[in-house]
Amino acid sequence: MALFKGAGVAIVTPFKENYEVDYEKLGELIEFQISNKTDSIIICGTTGEASTLTHEEHLECIKYTVKKVNKRVPVIAGTGSNCTETAIYLSKEAESFGVDGLLIVTPYYNKATQKGLIAHYTAIAENVSLPIIMYNVPSRTGCNMLPQTVATLVKTVDNIVGIKEASSNIAQVAEIMSLTKGNIDLYSGCDELIVPVLSLGGAGVISVLSNIVPRETHDMVAKYLEGDVNASRDLQLKYIPLINALFCEVNPIPVKAALNLMGYKVGPLRKPLTEMEPANVERLQTELKKLI
């Protein structure tokens, strides 16, 4: 059974003006998400600027989220690293806090071979009992997990159950589903490809868009899974301009700008990310006004 079906939000990490984590604001965002039908909270992922959090902050964000959510929806913690031992450490700590699952990105910078990826994920899985969703995002990591590697891990490691596929390569997604015979929890990692991924047997999306329109993103998946493909497709197409604006600069620059424009006061970005270019802010504002 999938950790969740539907739209899980890759939630931002709000910061105070002094760049400390704003836990009170994180709590407000979590409540906003749950009240608007978000199906899962994914904490400390790419959108959550996990790469600029200290290990202490990273773990405290996970612990806080588990307590705040209080089992209302599944909590999935991003605990990946380019160091296998660090990923094991973060994963074991997250498990002790009571998360429902782990999201583990492929090692970045190292450029592991496919053999290395199998060794990496297997080692992490052997040290926890939680279900693991692998995360393939080669545009950010320089490492592409091939479909055969995905199939090998899903078939040979019991608690590796899913993948967030963000390669933007729909043919690769189809091959994953073919090689695994659909026995994998597939989540779109690209908001513009939610419906195409669902059409191949996907369980949902781990979404940036959900930060802005959680109810509508939930509905996009729910309607498809209920058999109303036309309504799901219409929502997908409706939000393409907003999705494009949310990715006109590297994520999460635009989504944090959008939340600030909407009055959520999620604060600044940590360097090396910088604030959005004025022309792109204007573009984003144009799309946000359409939501009113």
| Pairing of the two strands 75-78 and 40-43 | parallel
Length of the chain: 292
pLDDT band at 257 (very low <50, low <70, confident <90, very high): very high
The first and second tokens of residue 8, run together, are 């899980």
Q: What sign does the dihedral 231-29-13-18 (CA atoms) show?
A: positive
In angstroms, the CA 138 to CA 184 distance is 20
**pLDDT tens for residues 113-150?**
999 999 999 999 999 999 999 999 999 999 999 999 99
| In the predicted structure, residue 292 carries a pLDDT above the cut 80 | no
Look at residues 213, 260, 263 and name the one whose alpha carbon lies nearest to residue 238. Answer: 213
In angstroms, the CA 80 to CA 8 distance is 18
Domain ranges of the chain: 6-230
Tell me which of 3.40.50.2300, 3.20.20.70, 3.30.2130.30, 3.20.20.300 is the CATH number of domain 6-230: 3.20.20.70
Q: What percent of the chain has pLDDT over 70?
A: 100
**pLDDT tens for residues 202-244?**
999 999 999 999 999 999 999 999 999 999 999 999 999 999 9
pTM greater than 0.95: yes
| In the predicted structure, residue 97 carries a pLDDT above the cut 80 | yes
In angstroms, the CA 77 to CA 41 distance is 8
Catalytic residue among 25, 63, 121, 135: 135
Task: Give yes or no for a contact between 199 and 192, defined as CB atoms under 8 angstroms apart.
Answer: no
Catalytic residue among 25, 63, 68, 164: 164
Cα–chain center distance at 52: 16
| In the predicted structure, residue 70 carries a pLDDT above the cut 80 | yes
The first and second tokens of residue 178, run together, are 């073919």
In angstroms, the CA 207 to CA 238 distance is 16
Residues forming a β-bridge with 132: 102, 160
Q: What is the pLDDT of residue 291?
A: 87
135 catalytic per annotation:
yes
In angstroms, the CA 219 to CA 242 distance is 16
Q: What is the pLDDT of residue 147?
A: 98
Q: What percent of the chain has pLDDT over 90?
A: 99
3-state secondary structure of 228: coil
